[in-house]
Amino acid sequence: MVFIFKLVLLSLFIFTPITSYAVQEAKLAPAFTAKLIDGKPFSLESAKGQVVIINFWASWCSPCRQEMPALERYYQQHKAQGLRLIAVSLDETTDDAKVREVMQAYGFDAAFERETQHKGYGRIWRLPLTFVIDRKGIVRKDGWYGDAGIDQASLEKIVTPLLEEK
């Protein structure tokens, strides 16, 4: 009997889906704080009233680097409307200089993952990974679902309506 009980418990553990993320669309965004590369602090709490894009990337990730120009164009077109964009690098500390060099071409904020608190967004294992949070702090794009990448068309479709809401 004890063996059967242990077998049932083991089966439940093995076959119960375990997700590596907790963030959900249409729900309040989990806390996110960062020490930006320029040394300034950032928090979602302090960004209330702005639309925030959090983009996890790495300098060695080709798809990440391909979407950066679209993110820059969109950011430059819409930052005056209350858009905030944070690029969070998952690079190793040995690549800090490379990350800083890449980010010189872009006007949006950046941080190293090791200098962020983002537990509620899950274990970041897929890149690129993008989250969009509206002015009220609600997740409007959960990067874990759908297309991993983001481009000008998807930014226009997802983010532009949020910027038009006051």
Helix/strand/coil percent split, the chain, to 5: 40, 25, 40
Strand-strand pairing, 129-133 and 83-89: unpaired
Report whether the peptide linkage leading into residue 128 is cis, meaning its omega lies within 30 degrees of zero: yes
pLDDT of 1 over the 70 cut? no
> Cβ neighbours of residue 58 under 8 Å, at least 6 residues apart?
64, 89, 90, 91, 127
CA–CA separation, 145 and 104 (whole Å): 30
Can you give the pLDDT at residue 84? Answer: 98
Can you give the pTM of this predicted structure?
0.84
Pair 112, 91: CB distance under 8 Å: yes
Tens of pLDDT along 55-70?
Answer: 999 999 999 999 999 9
Tens of pLDDT along 69-91?
Answer: 999 999 999 999 999 999 999 99
Query: Hey, where are the domains in the chain?
Result: 21-164
Strand-strand pairing, 33-36 and 139-141: unpaired
pLDDT band at 22 (very low <50, low <70, confident <90, very high): low
CA–CA separation, 23 and 17 (whole Å): 16
Can you give the pLDDT at residue 11? Answer: 45
Domain 21-164 belongs in CATH node 3.40.30.10: yes
Can you give the pLDDT at residue 78? Answer: 98
Q: Where are the alpha helices (DSSP H) in the chain?
A: 2-15, 62-78, 96-103, 152-158, 160-164
Top-confidence range, 86-90, 121-125, 146-150: 86-90
